[in-house]
Chains A and B, each alone.
Chain A
Amino acid sequence: QKEVEQNSGPLSVPEGAIASLNCTYSDRGSQSFFWYRQYSGKSPELIMSIYSNGDKEDGRFTAQLNKASQYVSLLIRDSQPSDSATYLCAVTLSGSARQLTFGSGTQLTVLP
């Protein structure tokens, strides 16, 4: 079992729709969770960080964390073509507070 798993996609949604990206992790001791966006040929860009159970909203983005289910998700409301990218879930495993472990990413395409 991989330490961090994401649906590889690709995921396609129409413009204006809600895109839902999911991530599960295996280490119950994980403390910190991040979502990065990576455009083709570019480096990862931080979108959200979340540390506590529940929802965290930032503009059109909402991160959701459920530590009991070992599940973290990212919702993108009013999706735009410019949101088309690969979304990477990253987790710090217990005992490695400054080492990010990444999922394989979900490729999102927002159709005009």
Chain B
Amino acid sequence: KAGVTQTPRYLIKTRGQQVTLSCSPISGHRSVSWYQQTPGQGLQFLFEYFSETQRNKGNFPGRFSGRQFSNSRSEMNVSTLELGDSALYLCASSSRTGGGGTDTQYFGPGTRLTVL
């Protein structure tokens, strides 16, 4: 079974621009979560999408947004980029079925964003 895929793998932008990152989950997985990883803050949760709805959101400004499509693919968008947004953005998918409990999350390769 193919793993989580993310595109693009590398991205360079300048301050003030916006960026869209894409994630395709493992086939059959319906939940997609996004994380930001930086040397200073480590891995931090951005948000989770399930059935095209945002289910949970981390402590990030409104410049960070996302969406999920009917095929479970997800995109995240960062508007008005700041230097501090330079990070590895990771997408993780799980087979969340809508009930309670925790599903194991599997990470994609990430998108390395550099803001100049």
Residues of A near B35 (CB, < 8 A) are 100
Selected contact of A96 from candidates B50, B56, B92, B96, CB within 8 Å: B56
A45 on interface, CB distance cutoff 8 Å: yes
B105 on interface, CB distance cutoff 8 Å: yes
Interface residues of B in 3-59 (CB under 8 A from A): 31, 33, 35, 42-45, 48, 50, 55-56, 58
Residue of B nearest to A104 (CB): B42
B102 on interface, CB distance cutoff 8 Å: yes
B94 on interface, CB distance cutoff 8 Å: yes
Known: A96-B56, A99-B56, A104-B42. A43 touches B90 (CB 8 A): yes
B66 on interface, CB distance cutoff 8 Å: no
Interface size on B, residues (CB 8 A): 28
A96–B43 alpha-carbon span in the complex (Å): 16
- Distance (Å) between the CB of B1 and the closest chain A CB? 14
Interface size on A, residues (CB 8 A): 24
- Distance (Å) between the CB of B24 and the closest chain A CB? 14
A97–B105 alpha-carbon span in the complex (Å): 11
A103–B37 alpha-carbon span in the complex (Å): 12
Q: Are B107 and A101 in contact (CB under 8 A)?
A: no
Q: Are B102 and A92 in contact (CB under 8 A)?
A: yes
A101–B104 alpha-carbon span in the complex (Å): 13
Residues of A near B103 (CB, < 8 A) are 98
Residues of A near B50 (CB, < 8 A) are 98
Q: Are B42 and A100 in contact (CB under 8 A)?
A: no
Residues of A near B48 (CB, < 8 A) are 98-99
**What is B's interface to A at a CB cutoff of 8 Å?**
31, 33, 35, 42-45, 48, 50, 55-56, 58, 88, 90, 92, 94, 96, 100-110
Known contacts A98-B103, A99-B33, then 8 further A-B pairs from the complex at CB < 8 Å, ordered by chain A residue: A42-B109, A43-B110, A49-B104, A92-B102, A98-B31, A100-B43, A100-B92, A105-B42
**What is A's interface to B at a CB cutoff of 8 Å?**
31-32, 34, 36, 42-46, 49, 51, 88, 90, 92, 96-105
